[in-house]
Structure 1
Amino acid sequence: MKRFGNPDQSRPVALWLFFTAAMVFAMVVIGGITRLTGSGLSITEWKPIMGALPPLNAADWTEAFEKYKAIPQYAQVNAGMSLAEFQGIFWWEWAHRLFGRLIGMVFALPFFVFLACRLLPPRSVLGRLALPTRLIWRCALLLGLGGLQGLIGWWMVSSGLSERVDVAPERLTTHLGLALIIFAGLIWTGLEAWSGEEHNRASTGWSRGAAVLLGAVFVQCLLGGLVAGAKAGFIYNDWPLMNGALLAPVDWGRGGWAFLHDQALVQFNHRIWAYGLLIGGTVYAVQAWRWKLAEGLGTSAFVVGGALWLQAVLGIVTLVSVVPLWLGGLHQAGAAIVLALATANLWMVRRSQSRLFVSGPRR
């Protein structure tokens, strides 16, 4: 078994975390497609264990369809749909939930295996799989957040079963936001496991700037979630104006709820924040490149800046095309990729600045 220079390294743990992160990324894309196909309310019950089994015979399908017919979405949106059409949306939601259960198993089972391996003698080959103590609490937290995500998913779905024909935008955004937090957490913790712990972390201007950039990307993802939840991408499909105006009419009678539910306002906020993020990310990338930061940080910043531009162009194309399924899914995937790059960039900055803090500036 190959030995690594840093005793804090655990490459098997890192690979497991990166693989789980890839699954969460796929889950985010599947969730976006489930939303765009209008499939999210096709399963009207939450059965964490038995719900893993789909309808197995004609009677089961009839029962599931009758339950769907009892909610407002069927009466107001899909009245008269056939059983075959219902099965089409059912399978999307069922796959979405099943994949979530699979992610839980892929994370939880190896986690407990890594914990158990710490009980083996230090010289044991399997002992190399031991989870470093510093990572245990992080992985335990990620496991807890994964369980919470299942509860929030049902909380989101339940908002569309009685009075609405879709889920509440703020609940959808909460569900998306937590998924992205878990995604970023898996990437960060995987990088820590791959490279080992770095002590004496320093807080520098570049570190704070990278943190602000990551936070701004995350906020933009949340604003995108509100656009998706309010179905605001299907209106005001001209650019750079909104139906010929800077800001389309807003129903201010909703008060503060307008920032969550008004289609014109949530799309406007998503646009404006995107412009600010694009400018800030570009300035950050140019400055990092000009200053030739150590450890490849200039390249990292440049990659994040380039990804922001590509995502902005993709967002515009998606909007003016009135959100076709493939573009909507691609745009959501792009958001997760930008978040992953910004997360890795912050990790690299903090690690590099920590080394400079310890060893002094390079000559």
Structure 2
Amino acid sequence: MTSFLRSDRSRAVAIWLLVTAALVVAMVVVGGLTRLTGSGLSITQWKPVSGVLPPLSAGDWQAEFARYRAIPQFQFVNPDMTLAQFRFIYFWEWSHRLLARLVGTVFLLPLIWFAVRREIPRRLWGQMGAVIVLLGLEPIVGWWMVASGLANRVYVAPERLMLHLGIAFALLGALVWTALDALAGQARQTLPSPWGGRALWIVGLIYLQILLGALVAGNQAGLVYNDWPLFAGHLLPGDYAGPGLWATLAHSQGAVQLHHRLVAYLLTIAAVLMGASAWRSPYLAATSRSLALAVAGLVLVQASLGIATLMARAPIGLAGAHQFVAALTLCLAVAFAWRVRRV
């Protein structure tokens, strides 16, 4: 019996995955603050191993600053930047990359330990494979994103930022789901009810809204149309259409902000209706009902934060809180979707 239980569930594995998930949330928030401080292009080289150390001498700092002065962002956005100012933005980006390395270390070293000891339930290895792939893709796409801003642009490409953030949130969701599976063990049966589908729709809407938010951030669209619910006094943004479909969807400030607002309205209505319906449902356990209400409440908080962030022109504090609550909302929505599919 002990051998069977050990192969079916593991509290230690669940804790490890949740700690990794918490570090991913920290990485996402620090990454957002790095973008808000204009720090993301301060490190112009990708050194996965040696880059763990910042410049240690005056000569090293001058060399890093010289590389930054060679890119368009310095020439067109920060031509008067001093070395002291450069050191400030450098440490934001270095901290973000250090957190990314920490996430990889905290995940991979225990993975080897648990795998050697055969403490990872065999049924979870498919999910673990997905986590490993996402974890491997994240730094590669991150550098691909940074590289887009080192020539011919003063900021990174918005669609690459969206993909980078999307992978991070997909990794976060996979870690939470797998941790819950590791903690609870094999489900006795799957609930034959519509709640599983409804919960996954909410997760999908939250994820879509996060991707649209990345496009808003990548286009600096939070700095325009700072009235709400109108757009500079009009029902729709005046500069909605770009020169083509992709230019409109991914690069028009008016379009990406409008899409982000519209999905926010849809998500808020759907989450509140789901929470109310779940609370009245006799088929859901108390834990599921509480999770549904928590998701609805966080969506309302997130919508309010979004409006406040927009109207205040994206100050760092509000924008950072907006990104943190997005991560927390996704985690709770994933937990709700996981819970309603099990008895």
TM-score normalised by L of structure 1: 0.91
Q: Secondary structure at the match of 2:25?
A: helix
Instruction: Tell me, yes or no, if structure 1 residue 250 matches structure 2 residue 243.
Output: no
Q: Give a deviation string over 1:100-132, Cα, whole Å, max 9, x none.
A: 0111000000000001112xxxxxxxxxxx111
CA distance in 1, matches of 2:319, 2:45: 27
CA distance in 2, matches of 1:92, 1:22: 19
Give the aligned partner of residue 315 of structure 2: 324
Cα distance change on mapping 1:267 and 1:251 into 2, 3 Å: closer
Give the aligned partner of residue 180 of structure 2: 191
Letter in 2 for 1:302: L
Q: Is the 8 A contact 1:10 1:131 kept in 2?
A: yes
Give the aligned partner of residue 149 of structure 1: 138
Displaced runs of 4+ in structure 1, greater than 3 A?
2-7
Give the aligned partner of residue 226 of structure 2: 237
Instruction: Tell me, yes or no, if structure 1 residue 106 matches structure 2 residue 103.
Output: no
Q: Write the mapping of 1:307-322 to structure 2, written as runs, cut at 5 A.
A: 307-322=298-313
Q: Give a deviation string over 1:191-248, Cα, whole Å, max 9, x none.
A: 0000001154245311111111110010000000100000100111101101001111
Choose the corresponding residue for 2:159, options 163, 167, 170: 170
CA distance in 2, matches of 1:204, 1:260: 37
Give the aligned partner of residue 291 of structure 1: 281
Give the aligned partner of residue 122 of structure 1: none
Instruction: Tell me, yes or no, if structure 1 residue 301 matches structure 2 residue 292.
Output: yes
Give the aligned partner of residue 201 of structure 2: 212
TM-score normalised by L of structure 2: 0.96
Instruction: Tell me, yes or no, if structure 1 residue 74 matches structure 2 residue 74.
Output: yes
Give the aligned partner of residue 45 of structure 1: 45
Q: Write the mapping of 1:344-359 to structure 2, written as runs, cut at 5 A.
A: 344-351=335-342, 355=343
Give the aligned partner of residue 268 of structure 2: 278
CA distance in 2, matches of 1:163, 1:294: 54
CA distance in 2, matches of 1:37, 1:28: 14
Instruction: Tell me, yes or no, if structure 1 residue 339 matches structure 2 residue 330.
Output: yes
How far apart are 1:7 and its partner, in Å?
5.5
Letter in 1 for 2:163: T
Give the aligned partner of residue 179 of structure 1: 168
Q: Is the 8 A contact 1:239 1:320 kept in 2?
A: yes
Letter in 2 for 1:285: G
CA distance in 2, matches of 1:346, 1:182: 16
Give the aligned partner of residue 266 of structure 1: 256
How far apart are 1:250 and its partner, in Å?
2.2
Q: Write the mapping of 1:51-66 to structure 2, written as runs, cut at 5 A.
A: 51-66=51-66
Cα distance change on mapping 1:203 and 1:76 into 2, 3 Å: farther
Q: Is the 8 A contact 2:203 2:330 kept in 1?
A: yes
Structure 1 unaligned spans of 5+: 119-129, 356-363
